[in-house]
Amino acid sequence: MSDEREPLGEGMAMGAPSVDADARRAPVVAVILAAGFGTRFDPMRPKQLVSVGGRPVIAWSIDAFEANPRITDILVVVNPQVRHAVERLVDERGYPKVRAVIDGGEQRFDSTVNALRMLDSAGIPDDARLLIHDAVRPFVGQSVITACVASLDGYAASTVAVASTDTVLVTEESEGSRLITSVPDRSLMYRAQTPQAFRFATLRKAYELASRDPGFTPTDDTRVVVDYLPHTDVAIVPGDDTNIKITTREDMPVAERIAARILVGSR
């Protein structure tokens, strides 16, 4: 990837005229997590590079944040399997907000840690807004991204989520069986999506505390704040059912249908 990219935080100076003073003061950084190995999909075909609607999955995600005027900077987190292809994609498409393509880690948690370390070394201010997004959620909408950024006006953390239409069961393992321990009130149950949004100082502090617990294996970033900064309110930003995560190959027909609807609508 050509190395004459604007350094992190430069984007805020170039924010679109509509960007408010707060965003001009503090960058709004999208961290696109693309360092997974897709073991539930096809280890031989990295799902972040698979084509949907004629475009690589990760290109949909980067396009979405490039297109949003509130986003000033983009950081892409990759693994060695996809690095070359992602760097080529960034060079081919230009992607002026992409500041760097960095290495992820073994777990999703470690990839966020690497992103936080890079942001810290770049001198990103404590009040910067971070949106951590799964690269394999290609159809994130502009209104959802904008609402995520705006949610940090009143909260230090938030996550996109949708109300559960299934009843959720809390279980435990017991003598080889899985038994239900509780059935929470469905009206309170939400399914987390991404982006998950945080003020930089908040997420950095939560990860500092969580990193002391080697047995902690969260599946998202929100839980790190909920578990380690219990007095920090975390708000829900309404998501939508098109903001799917491509996890297995069975998700591809649904993804193609959503992509087709988006492409027809954008003509």
Ligand X SMILES: Nc1ccn([C@@H]2O[C@H](COP(=O)(O)OP(=O)(O)OP(=O)(O)O)[C@@H](O)[C@H]2O)c(=O)n1
Contacting residues for 22 by C-beta, under 8 A, at least 6 apart: 153
What gap in Å lies between CA 41 and CA 47, rounded to an integer? Answer: 7
- Residue 220 binding result from ligand LQXTBERG, ligand X, none, given CB thresholds of 5 to 8 Å by partner type: ligand LQXTBERG
Out of 71, 73, 86, 134, which residue is the one contacting ligand X (CB under 6 A)? Answer: 134
Q: What, of ligand LQXTBERG, ligand X, none, does residue 193 touch, CB below 5 to 8 Å by kind?
A: ligand LQXTBERG
Q: Which of 66, 135, 78 is nearest to 104 (CA)?
A: 78
> Where does the chain have alpha helices with state H?
21-25, 57-67, 80-93, 108-121, 142-151, 200-210, 222-228, 252-265
CB of 244 to ligand X, least distance (A): 11
Lay out the site mask for ligand X across 227-246 (x = CB under 6 A, - = otherwise). ------------------x-
Which of the ranges 99-107, 160-168, 181-189, 196-204 carries the binding residues for ligand X, by CB under 6 A? Answer: 99-107
Full DSSP string of 109-172: HHHHHHHHHHHHHTT--TT-EEEEEETT-TT--HHHHHHHHHHTTT-SEEEEEEE-SSPP-EEE
Query: In terms of CB distance, is 114 or 193 closer to ligand LQXTBERG?
Result: 193
- Binding segment for ligand LQXTBERG (CB under 6 A), chosen from 71-79, 122-130, 188-196, 251-259, is 188-196
Q: Which does 192 bind (CB under 5 to 8 A by kind): ligand X, ligand LQXTBERG, none?
A: ligand LQXTBERG
